[in-house]
């Protein structure tokens, strides 16, 4: 099956989604499973993993309810307060649902660049291993050294890097990002998503050739067995249509062996999260 490893749903509310500024005005509406199902079908994708967009237990429960009602949503990466004293209780509450496959915190927005290494946060990461949940790393390039230290400390914890840590595609500045990305990729417990890259380029003028260096570096660093495709829908729509965004990765893979194509386009996601693929109706 072809699996989109990274997308979002929301009921739009200005206060809850204040990061959607005037430049992204088209995102100021609801995005729900029926909307995505049309895009998946058109792009010949079979299933998806829904990822949190708000740091709220209520949103996590809502995403799980969407997954229960829509068989093409085969997993949810939700949120719990990993720094809370009652993190185990929070994880027991939402983790009882087998559709919860991982947890994410919006670290890129934290004022402390060393947030990933805070003792309270690390205690929460330790709890994830007990519950068999992966952790999505959402950061900028400057945070990569701290991600390396985190992944090294928790060698048995599964991590996946969102959006390749958002390289500076607009200006084509990859040197420091590449150096630190390779260090992170040297940790065998870290995988990565080929997602969210079109929005790091010029939204109106990007070309596949501008993304190719990032793909080349990611494949060389992680190998085809630790990469997975993701759309970052609906955020990606500020820079391109769903099928176009997925197509950039599919086109890049066209010259690679069939086994690698199948892995990146779905097999790796299934393996990383141990997804229970249900019959898609």
DSSP H or E segment with residue 36: helix 33-42
Domain 3-273: CATH superfamily is Metal-dependent hydrolases (3.20.20.140)
Contact status, residue 264 vs residue 226, Cβ threshold 8 Å? no
Alpha helical stretches, state H, 96-143: 119-131
Q: Say how far apart CA 173 and CA 179 lie, in whole Å.
A: 12
CA distances (Å), 275 to each of 41, 103, 125, 130, 278, in order? 20, 15, 21, 18, 9
Q: Provide the Cα torsion 32, 33, 36, 40; round to 10°.
A: 170
Sheet architecture: strand order including 73-78:
3-7, 47-51, 73-78, 100-105, 134-137, 159-161, 190-194, 227-229
Residue owning tokens 């919860």: 100
The tens-digit pLDDT sequence of the chain (281 residues) is 999 999 999 999 999 999 999 999 999 999 999 999 999 999 999 999 999 999 999 999 999 999 999 999 999 999 999 999 999 999 999 999 999 999 999 999 999 999 999 999 999 999 999 999 999 999 999 999 999 999 999 999 999 999 999 999 999 999 999 999 999 999 999 999 999 999 999 999 999 999 999 999 999 999 999 999 999 999 999 999 999 999 999 999 999 999 999 999 999 999 999 998 775 54
Q: What is the pLDDT of residue 279?
A: 57
Q: What is the pLDDT of residue 277?
A: 78
pTM of the full structure:
0.96
Reading the block at residue 91, the tokens are: 């994880």
CA distances (Å), 98 to each of 60, 160, 228, in order? 13, 19, 21
Q: What is the pLDDT of residue 281?
A: 47
């Amino acid at each position: 099956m072809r699996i989109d490893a990274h997308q979002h749903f929301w009921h739009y509310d200005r206060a809850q989604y204040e990061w959607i500024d005037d430049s992204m005005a088209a995102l100021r509406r609801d995005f729900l499973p029926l909307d995505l199902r049309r895009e998946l079908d058109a792009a010949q994708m079979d299933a998806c993993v829904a990822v949190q967009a708000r740091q709220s237990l209520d949103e996590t429960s809502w995403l799980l309810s969407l997954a229960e009602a829509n068989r093409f949503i085969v997993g949810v990466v939700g949120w719990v307060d990993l720094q809370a004293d009652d993190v185990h209780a929070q994880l027991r509450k939402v983790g009882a649902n087998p559709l919860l496959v991982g947890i994410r915190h919006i670290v890129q927005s934290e004022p402390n660049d060393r947030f990933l290494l805070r003792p309270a946060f690390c205690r929460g990461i330790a709890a994830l291993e007990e519950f068999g949940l992966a952790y999505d790393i959402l950061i900028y390039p400057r945070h990569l050294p701290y991600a390396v230290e985190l992944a090294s400390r928790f060698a048995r914890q599964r991590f996946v890097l969102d959006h390749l840590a958002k390289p500076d595609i607009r200006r084509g500045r990859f040197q420091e990002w590449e150096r630190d990305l390779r260090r992170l990729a040297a940790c065998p417990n870290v995988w990565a998503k080929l997602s969210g890259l079109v929005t790091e380029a010029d939204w109106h003028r990007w070309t596949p050739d501008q993304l190719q260096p990032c793909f080349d570096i990611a494949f060389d660093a992680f190998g085809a067995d630790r990469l997975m495709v993701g759309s970052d829908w609906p955020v990606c729509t500020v820079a391109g249509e769903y099928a176009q965004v997925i197509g950039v990765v599919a086109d890049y893979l066209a010259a690679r062996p069939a086994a690698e194509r199948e892995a990146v386009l779905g097999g790796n996601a299934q393996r990383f999260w141990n997804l229970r693929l249900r019959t898609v109706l």
